[in-house]
Amino acid sequence: MTDNEIIKDILEGNKDAFRLLVERYQQSVFRTVMGFLHDKDEADDLSQDIFIQAYLSLARFKGESAFSTWLYRITLNACLNKTRKSPLQKIFRLFENTPEADREIFLSVIDSTDPENIMIQNENAELVRKALDSLPENQRIAIVLSKYDDLPQREIAEIMKTSEGAVESLLQRAKKNLREILSGRIKKNH
């Protein structure tokens, strides 16, 4: 079934059909939320809230864009509202030590069980997390959608309501800023 067929089914009274949309998009929403919150429990909670909001707003979905685009907009707005509402939480998060979440979400799995390699990975993940959080909002949105969700620039442009050229520029600036931030922090640590 297509998203539009499922939505039609839901709007005609089959509330159980929403489960299909949740199953289809749960991982994508979670990855996006993790890109902003960096905390698995908070990301789980906010992801649930996002799906509840999507369900309650489904009658307003007009099909002018893909359902996934509409859902990403809800997701981004929820993430931005969450990080805007609690600036202290954001600062505290920079100092949290969540090595397991970092390894699962941000780092590729390695074969080594060498404690030194694991420690280096955790430190690197923390540096990347801090660098991402320090990016301007539009750059952070673009890089999270591109790298965490592997979305094409066309779809990112649609979600962000901008042009593909603007997205390309945001991604280039985000990468440049991340390189500068990370190279400065790595030099400080060594």
The top-level CATH class assigned to 1-86 is mainly alpha
pTM over 0.75: no
Per-residue pLDDT tens digits for 26-82: 999 999 999 998 889 999 999 999 999 999 999 999 888 999 999 999 999 999 888
* C-alpha distance from residue 58 to each of 11, 15, 33, 42 (Å): 8, 11, 20, 24
Dihedral sign, Cα of residue 86, residue 167, residue 24, residue 98: negative
Q: What is the pLDDT of residue 116?
A: 63
Domain boundary assignment for the chain: 1-86
Confidence of residue 131 (pLDDT cuts 50, 70, 90): confident
Mean per-residue pLDDT over the chain, rounded: 82
Q: What is the pLDDT of residue 99?
A: 42
Confidence of residue 24 (pLDDT cuts 50, 70, 90): very high
Lowest mean pLDDT among 2-11, 105-114, 146-155: 105-114
Q: What is the pLDDT of residue 186?
A: 54
Could you tell me the two tokens for 79? 């993430």
Q: What is the pLDDT of residue 109?
A: 39
| More confident: 114 or 183 | 183
Is the Cβ–Cβ distance between 25 and 58 less than 8 Å?
no
> Mean per-residue pLDDT for 6-14?
95
Lowest mean pLDDT among 74-83, 120-129, 144-153: 120-129
